[in-house]
């Protein structure tokens, strides 16, 4: 496999739809939805993708939104309230939670607070992430490399484990778990063994959730949020910075569009927020018939 980032992108689903986007657009605007009485929990919500996602859910009228990060997030709460009002929606009930997603105790306490405040959960967005310094394996810091797995895999494991009981409690719950993966799950960039292996594992993790809770109606899938110049992404080698040309709002609005209603047909799949969602929807039959957009071994059989 080529390790040239641009050549790999051509075989990694980047152009799965004829039209791609780098910023939000009319078809996915969150104001079109009415998520009254819906409850959402978002990790990594202090900045970037998580922050934009929280604001998008507020614009969609979600009644209850819990935001989690290691910081206070008062500014995020204020922006969510302002966005809801500007969208003509009632401001949501917001709870801000300081959470370390790698700590079972911290995550458990967060779940208890959400249960007490909301009594239900419809959508879980596993967004918190970490990116190691890109260097050959023998030059990696053991602690830094393993931290990627602690945050990007153990984190979603602990959060999902703690919140599944709340997701399946209400009969009318959306019961949706969205894992923020990456196009990095589908490519090989020298020096990115921790991050890219972890993001691929996260896609498979979502499939296991669907298998383990098939009788409970859990719907889990993974997304590529786009190439966004977040503080995290800027840690990539400078030669890859040209790929960081998408807005966080594209990811936030796409996430709301993907989760506002149950979309059974994307269960266990990989979805890129760069794709045009109308064209993606038009491909539904081909996706289902071919069982596309999943982590699989191609053995060359027809």
Q: What are the distances in angstroms from CA 1 to CA 7, 12, 79? A: 10, 12, 44
Residue for token pair 């302002």: 82
Per-residue DSSP letter, 228: B
| 199 labelled catalytic | yes
| 195 labelled catalytic | yes
Contact of 79 with 55, CB cutoff 8 Å: yes
Beta-strand ranges (E) seen in 134-261 are: 176-180, 219-224
Of 195, 213, 263, 267, the active-site residue reads: 195
Nearest in space to 125 (alpha carbons), one of 61, 23, 55: 55
The encoded tokens of residue 175 equal 């019961």
Calpha distance 181→48 (Å, rounded): 15
Calpha distance 295→77 (Å, rounded): 36
End-to-end CA separation in angstroms for the chain: 22
Of 199, 263, 267, 270, the active-site residue reads: 199
Nearest in space to 193 (alpha carbons), one of 129, 130, 137, 128: 137
Contact of 38 with 291, CB cutoff 8 Å: no
The encoded tokens of residue 164 equal 């599944």
Calpha distance 43→159 (Å, rounded): 9
Calpha distance 24→94 (Å, rounded): 24
Calpha distance 191→52 (Å, rounded): 29
Calpha distance 66→41 (Å, rounded): 5
CA pseudo-torsion sign 6, 8, 13, 17 = positive
Q: Give catalytic residue positions.
A: 195, 199
């Amino acid at each position: 496999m080529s390790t040239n980032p641009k050549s790999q992108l051509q075989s990694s689903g980047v152009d799965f739809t004829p039209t791609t986007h780098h910023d939000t657009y009319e078809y996915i605007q969150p104001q079109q939805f009415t998520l009254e009485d819906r409850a959402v929990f978002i990790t990594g919500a202090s900045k970037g993708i998580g922050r934009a996602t929280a604001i998008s859910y507020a614009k969609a009228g979600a009644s209850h939104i819990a935001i989690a990060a290691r910081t206070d997030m008062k500014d995020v709460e204020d922006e969510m309230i302002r966005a809801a009002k500007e969208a003509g929606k009632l401001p949501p009930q917001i709870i801000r939670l300081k959470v370390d997603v790698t700590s079972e105790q911290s995550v458990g306490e967060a779940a208890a607070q959400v249960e007490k405040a909301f009594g239900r959960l419809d959508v879980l967005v596993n967004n918190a992430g970490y990116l190691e310094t890109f260097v050959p394996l023998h030059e990696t810091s053991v602690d830094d490399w393993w931290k990627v797995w602690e945050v990007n895999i153990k984190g979603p494991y602990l959060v999902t484990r703690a919140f599944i009981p709340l997701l399946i409690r209400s009969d009318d719950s959306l019961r949706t778990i969205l894992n923020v993966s990456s196009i990095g799950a589908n490519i090989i960039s020298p020096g990115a063994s921790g991050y890219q292996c972890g993001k691929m594992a996260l896609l498979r993790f979502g499939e296991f959730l669907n298998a383990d809770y098939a009788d409970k109606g859990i719907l889990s899938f993974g997304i590529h949020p786009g190439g966004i110049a977040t503080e995290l992404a800027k840690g990539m080698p400078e030669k890859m910075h040209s790929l960081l040309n998408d807005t966080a709002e594209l990811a936030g609005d796409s996430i709301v569009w993907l989760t506002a209603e149950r979309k059974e047909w994307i269960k266990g799949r990989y979805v890129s927020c760069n794709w045009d969602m109308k064209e993606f929807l038009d491909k539904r039959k081909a996706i289902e018939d071919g069982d596309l957009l999943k982590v699989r071994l191609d053995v060359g059989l027809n």
